[in-house]
């Protein structure tokens, strides 16, 4: 199956969905404190999406997923199920992954949060997960092979002393949640997909403080590190432009910080 090249009209809709998805990650930040449950954070996100933004939370009911967001704490790699029983405590690190559907188009993104103060190693892990995503964003432009993303992300991550999860990857997205291409975060011969203007996909490396291996829990969703080391992930959705990419889910805090920009011009 060919990877669709999105029209300007579709990009306008995707940009809107992505802005709403990124707004949820900003909205929830002040609620993240010791003592709050991940179930409550999910409920706040759910109500904001449905009642304020009037969007559809894409995760809710997706292949039977029971909640509006994925919230992955500490050794949880991805697809953590929010729960009233899971209370945040000082030093926890967590990823909240939000995907919305607006007018039939998807916006998907995630980021890490730190509860109070955490140890240096977890701080470094969270920082490296963000930079791993940014390293990926800096290689994309028309004519570049898709597997250059994984090469760059893996090289950076391993140089920091962390490992890259193999089982989950970025993905094409648009009027479907998950489609081709699979965007690996490690180097592999991928059959030679070459990036073209108008392709839309996510980059969302999961990196572990310890070994790369993961285990699926008995609930059928929660993925943990096999060695129970901590894991971190950031995700952006992008569209390939003439000379780089547009980071469709960029947040204002990131634009101010200046390590990435909405319109990345890549050498």
- Each residue 207-246 as x (binds ligand MF3 by CB under 6 A) or -, in order, gives ----------------------------x-----------
Q: Nearer Cβ to ligand MF3, position 42 or 108?
A: 108
Q: Is 97 in the site for Co ion (CB under 5 A)?
A: yes
Pick one of 59, 73, 101, 165: the residue that binds ligand MF3 (CB under 6 A). Answer: 59
Helix (H) or strand (E) holding 21: helix 8-28
Q: Residue 121 Cβ, how far from ligand MF3 at the closest point, in Å? A: 25
Nearer to ligand MF3, 70 or 250 (CB): 70
Residue 200 CB, shortest distance to ligand MF3, in Å, is 13
Q: Please give the full DSSP string across 31-52, using - where no structure is assigned.
A: G--TT-BHHHHHHHHHHIIIII
79 binds, among ligand MF3, Co ion, none (CB under 5 to 8 A by kind): ligand MF3
Tokens at 201, concatenated: 């996909």
Tokens of 25: 């990650």
User: Per rule CB under 6 A, is residue 79 in the interface with ligand MF3?
Assistant: yes
Q: 81 and 66 in contact (C-beta within 8 Å)?
A: yes
Q: Which of 5, 12, 29, 62 binds ligand MF3 (CB under 6 A)?
A: 62
Burial class (CB in 10 A: 0-12, 13-18, 19+), 219: exposed
**How many CB atoms neighbour CB 145 within 10 A?**
16
């Amino acid at each position: 199956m060919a990877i669709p090249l999105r029209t300007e009209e579709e990009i306008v809709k995707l940009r809107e969905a992505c802005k709403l998805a990124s707004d949820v990650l900003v909205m929830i930040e002040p609620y993240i404190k010791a003592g709050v449950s991940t179930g409550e954070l999910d409920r706040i996100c759910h109500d904001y999406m449905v009642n304020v933004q009037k969007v559809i939370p894409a995760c809710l009911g997706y292949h039977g997923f029971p909640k509006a967001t994925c919230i992955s704490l500490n050794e949880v790699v991805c697809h953590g199920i929010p729960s009233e029983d899971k209370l945040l405590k000082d030093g926890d690190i967590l990823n909240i992954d939000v995907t919305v559907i607006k007018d039939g188009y998807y916006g998907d993104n995630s980021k890490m949060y730190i509860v109070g103060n955490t140890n240096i190693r977890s701080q470094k892990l969270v920082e490296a997960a963000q930079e791993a995503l940014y390293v990926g964003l800096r290689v994309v432009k028309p004519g570049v092979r898709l597997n250059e993303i994984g090469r760059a992300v893996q090289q950076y991550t391993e140089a920091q002393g962390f490992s890259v999860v193999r089982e989950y990857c970025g993905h094409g997205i648009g009027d479907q949640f998950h489609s081709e291409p699979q965007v690996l975060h490690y180097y592999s011969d991928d059959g030679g997909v070459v990036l073209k203007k108008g392709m839309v996909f996510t980059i969302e490396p999961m990196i572990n403080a310890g070994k790369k291996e993961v285990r699926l829990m008995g609930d059928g969703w929660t993925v943990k590190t096999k060695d129970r080391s901590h894991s971190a992930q950031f995700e952006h959705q992008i569209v390939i432009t003439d000379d780089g990419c547009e980071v469709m889910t960029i947040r204002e805090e990131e634009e101010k910080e200046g390590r990435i920009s909405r319109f990345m011009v890549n050498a």
